[in-house]
């Protein structure tokens, strides 16, 4: 069964086809890995895509290495046996391998060099300062809103407290004053409520403010201690402030001011970028080691592919030459009817094969003519001997 499979594989050229497919797969995997390294750096060294590509590269590396080692072992065995063309084959393999490997090594070295220089530039003090300052500027804008709303809520609380006794008896008047104060200070919303959660007054545009759901208990406790509590949310576009108006009746003022959503969006993106930058900075050495390993695997994969191409090209060139040498030895041994196979490549090797076949044909024809002439001379010699043997008188030859 094994012999049949081997014969079938040799007949259909299975090894050559698999080697070519493995070569293209290695090239595609190398290009894909390089693309993942250059275009998807932000995913980090632990990216599933990079890990998957690295596993694929390692598998192809082992398979292609086995193919190359097998071809080199066959070449070495042929050279040990002294087969025709084996020395030339080895020299061509070495030449093509050096020519193919040298550019790959140079490109790999410069790629690693530029990558390390690029990583050093990414995490330099200047870039670190720019990243930190960008976050500081974005947060300073939000802090300015918080300071402004703090000042406004204190001033608003002072104005309302001065008229609190009369306003508390007239909720409608209190709401009007609250709406006027809200509009005057550029606030978006404001409400007044007591410690039990009862709403006492609301400005005209405070429909989105829900004090009972938004306010945590610690905020109320800090407000009771005389602090101005500033509240902001990552999912909301408002900055809110809470202050206690009356300690005796436990009454609170809760105001809010809208912030430009685009600013909050930029702030969120800046925070995310700074967080990712800091994470990558902490993993700097790990990133460099991982990417160097990936570069090395891809470089070795391309080197093996280049060596295999060199071996294949050398074998294609040496095969007709080796066949020509073997046929020439057999022709020298007297086998003039043997011929070398001619291909239709149209190159000099094909012309050499055709010229050799014409030469052997001419030698065969000349040998046939010589044999025919020799047989004719031999027949004449035997005829002359027969005639002379039947003549009793002597034959005298005269010059003239």
Going from the C-alpha of 187 to that of each of 67, 141, 239, the distances in angstroms are 76, 17, 10
Report the range out of 9-18, 231-240, 301-310 with the highest average pLDDT.
Answer: 301-310
Residue 287 pLDDT greater than 80, yes or no: no
Average the pLDDT over each of 50-64, 154-168, 187-201 and give the range with the smallest value: 154-168
- Three-class SS string for 360-372? HHHHHHHHHHHHH
Q: What is the pLDDT of residue 214?
A: 61
pLDDT band at 318 (very low <50, low <70, confident <90, very high): confident
Query: Given this model, what pLDDT does residue 206 score?
Result: 54
- Lookup: tokens for 50: 């990079």
The residue whose two tokens read 């090894």 is 15
User: Is the model's pLDDT at 168 over the cut of 70?
Assistant: no
Q: What gap in Å lies between CA 291 and CA 252, rounded to an integer? A: 58
Whose tokens are 């290009």? That residue is: 31
Among 286, 291, 371, 373, CA closest to 108? 291
Rounded distance, CA 27 to CA 20, Å?
11
What is the per-residue pLDDT for 210? 55
Going by pLDDT thresholds of 50, 70 and 90, the confidence category of residue 149 is confident
Residue 43 has a pLDDT of: 45
Question: What is the rounded CA–CA span in Å between residue 275 and residue 324?
Answer: 70
Instruction: Kindly give the pairing relationship between strand 189-194 and strand 251-258.
Output: antiparallel
Report whether 60 contacts 22 (CB < 8 A): yes
Look up residue 340 and give its DSSP letter: P
Cα–Cα distance between 239 and 221 in angstroms, integer?
19
Q: How far is CA 192 from each of CA 84, 145, 156, 167, 243, rounded to the nearest angstrom?
A: 104, 21, 12, 12, 10
Task: Tell me whether strands 238-246 and 251-258 are parallel, antiparallel or unpaired.
Answer: antiparallel
Tokens read off for 246: 């009356």
Phi-psi region of 170 (alpha: psi -120 to 50; beta: other; left: phi over 0): beta
Q: What is the pLDDT of residue 61?
A: 81
Q: How far apart are the C-alpha atoms of 326 and 339, rounded to whole Å?
A: 11
Exposure b/e, 303-319, CB count within 10 A at least 16 = b: bbbbbbebbbebbebbe
Cβ–Cβ under 8 Å, residues 310 and 96: yes
Which of 121-135, 239-253, 366-380 is least confident? 121-135
Show the CA angle centred on residue 231, arms to residues 225 and 232, nearest 5°: 165
Percent of the chain's residues with pLDDT above 70: 81
Provide mean pLDDT across the span 321-349. 72
Burial (CB count <10 Å: 0-12, 13-18, 19+), residue 214: middle
What pLDDT was estimated at residue 33? 75
pLDDT at 10 over 70: no
Least confident of 35-49, 188-202, 262-276, 343-357: 35-49
Residue 71: pLDDT over 60: yes
In the chain, pLDDT over 90 holds for what percent of residues? 0
DSSP letters of 237-300? SEEEEEEEEETTTTEEEEEEEE--HHHHHHHHHHHHHHHHHHHHHHTHHHHHHHHHHHHHHHHH
Q: What is the mean pLDDT of the chain?
A: 76
Asked whether the beta carbons of 229 and 219 are under 8 A apart, the reply is: yes
Specify the higher pLDDT residue, 275 or 138.
275
| Rounded-to-integer distance, Cα 313 and Cα 315, Å | 5
Is the confidence at residue 275, as pLDDT, over 70?
yes
Q: Is the pLDDT of residue 315 over 70?
A: yes
Which pairs with CB-CB distance under 8 Å and at least 24 residues apart come from 51-54?
53/29, 54/293, 54/294, 54/297
Between CA 323 and CA 276 the distance in angstroms is 64
Q: Between 261-282 and 125-162, two packed helices, what is the crossing angle to 10 degrees?
A: 140
All domains in the chain, ordered by first residue: 2-121+291-303 (no CATH), 129-277 (3.30.450.20)
The token duo for 154 is: 């204190």
The side-by-side arrangement of strands in the sheet containing 251-258 is: 199-202, 189-194, 251-258, 238-246, 229-232
- Separation between Cα atoms, residue 57 and residue 32, nearest integer Å: 10
What is the average pLDDT across 244-267? 79
pLDDT > 80? residue 69: yes
Give the pLDDT of residue 41.
47
Q: Is the pLDDT of residue 212 over 80?
A: no
Provide the pLDDT for residue 42: 43
CA 90, CA 152: separation in Å to the nearest integer?
88
């Amino acid at each position: 069964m094994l012999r049949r499979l081997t014969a079938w594989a040799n007949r259909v050229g299975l090894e050559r086809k698999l080697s070519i497919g493995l070569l293209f797969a290695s090239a595609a995997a190398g290009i894909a890995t390089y693309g993942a390294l250059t275009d998807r750096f932000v995913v980090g060294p632990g990216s599933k895509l990079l890990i998957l590509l690295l596993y694929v590269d390692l598998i192809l590396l082992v398979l292609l290495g086995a193919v190359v080692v097998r071809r080199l072992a066959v070449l070495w065995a042929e050279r040990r046996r002294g087969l025709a063309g084996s020395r030339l084959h080895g020299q061509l393999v070495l030449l093509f391998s050096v020519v193919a490997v040298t550019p790959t090594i140079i490109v790999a070295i410069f790629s690693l060099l530029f990558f390390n220089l690029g990583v050093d530039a990414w995490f330099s003090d200047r870039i670190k300062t720019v990243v930190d300052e960008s976050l500081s500027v974005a947060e300073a804008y939000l802090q300015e809103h918080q300071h402004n709303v703090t000042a406004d809520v204190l001033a608003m609380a002072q104005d309302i407290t001065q008229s609190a006794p009369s306003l508390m008896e007239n909720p409608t008047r209190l709401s009007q004053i609250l709406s006027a104060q809200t509009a005057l200070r550029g606030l978006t919303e404001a409400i007044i409520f007591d410690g039990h959660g009862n709403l006492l007054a609301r400005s005209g545009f405070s429909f989105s403010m829900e004090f009972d759901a938004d306010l945590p208990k610690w905020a109320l406790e800090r407000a009771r201690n005389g602090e101005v509590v500033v509240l902001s949310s990552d999912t909301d576009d408002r900055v809110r402030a809470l202050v206690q108006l009356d300690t005796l009746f436990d009454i609170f003022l809760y105001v809010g001011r809208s912030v430009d959503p685009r600013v909050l969006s930029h702030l969120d993106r800046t925070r995310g970028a700074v967080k990712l930058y800091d994470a990558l900075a902490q993993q700097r050495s790990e990133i460099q080691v991982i990417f160097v390993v990936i570069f090395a695997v891809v470089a070795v994969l391309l080197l093996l592919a280049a060596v295999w191409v060199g071996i294949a090209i050398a074998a294609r060139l040496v095969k007709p030459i080796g066949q020509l040498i073997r046929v020439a030895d057999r022709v020298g041994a007297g086998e003039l009817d043997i011929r070398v196979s001619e291909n239709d490549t149209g190159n000099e090797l094909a012309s050499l094969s055709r010229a050799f076949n014409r030469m052997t044909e001419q030698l065969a024809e000349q040998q046939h003519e010589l044999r025919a002439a020799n047989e004719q001379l031999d027949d004449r010699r035997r005829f002359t001997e027969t005639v002379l043997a039947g003549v009793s008188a002597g034959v005298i030859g005269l010059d003239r």
